[in-house]
Structure 1
Amino acid sequence: MPKLHLEIPHTLPQNEAQDRLERFAESLHGRFGDQAKDVTQSWTDNVLSFGFKTFGMRIDGKIGVEPDKLVVSGDLPIAAMMFKGKIESEIQQQLERLVRV
């Protein structure tokens, strides 16, 4: 499976970045509920584990909230390989907006 890895720097206090990420994850289901099915999310310390199914493909990953950056990692299905750049770009843009001061 192709790997997904992004690092998004931030200057927020770590707890503020985590709070924003939690609210953001909840809002995504409302915005993309018709495109994302079987959405799961859970927190372990400062790591958000997420998963969803879209266009028949399951995508799972984690977002770690570190003191100076968000670290996104996950696996993409082989069928999504041709969209990897677009997926990474969209995630990066959304998270950069999220941590903007």
Structure 2
Amino acid sequence: MPKIDIRRPHNLPLDQARAVVEKVATRMREKFDMQSQWEGDTLRFSRSGVSGAIAVAPQAVHVTAELGLMLSPLKGMVEQEIRRKLDEYFGDAA
């Protein structure tokens, strides 16, 4: 199964970075019927055809996901959308 692995540096305090990820998770729940749950500073998410995690660290966010067979052909598009959202929510980082 195709895997996505993206690291994005950020300059936010940990609690603010985590709040941003929670905002993204809320949007994912509304738009894609995605289930999510925090485990420490890692948000685990899943729905039919995809599962993954967003780990929030002091200077970076790490997104990993595994796509099922139905979403495999869309890997490039999904990865591009994740990168776009990370840019939108975390802005320019050093």
TM-score where L is the length of structure 1 = 0.81
Offset from partner CA, 1:9-42 (integer Å, 9 cap, x none): 1111111100111122113333x2xxx23x2110
- Corresponding residue number in structure 2 for 1:81: 72
Q: 1:50 aligns with which of 45, 50, 54?
A: 45
**Structure 1 unaligned residues grouped into runs of 5+:** none
Q: What TM-score does the superposition give when structure 2 sets the normalisation length?
A: 0.86
Report the equivalent of 2:36: 41
Aligned equivalents of 2:68 and 2:29: distance in 1? 21
Identical residues among aligned pairs (%): 27
- Cα distance in 2 for partners of 1:90, 1:97 equals 10
Q: Deviations over 1:67-99 (max 9, x none)?
A: 111101121113322211110000111122111
Q: Structure 2: any 5+ residue segments left out of the alignment?
A: none
CA RMSD of aligned residues (A): 1.5
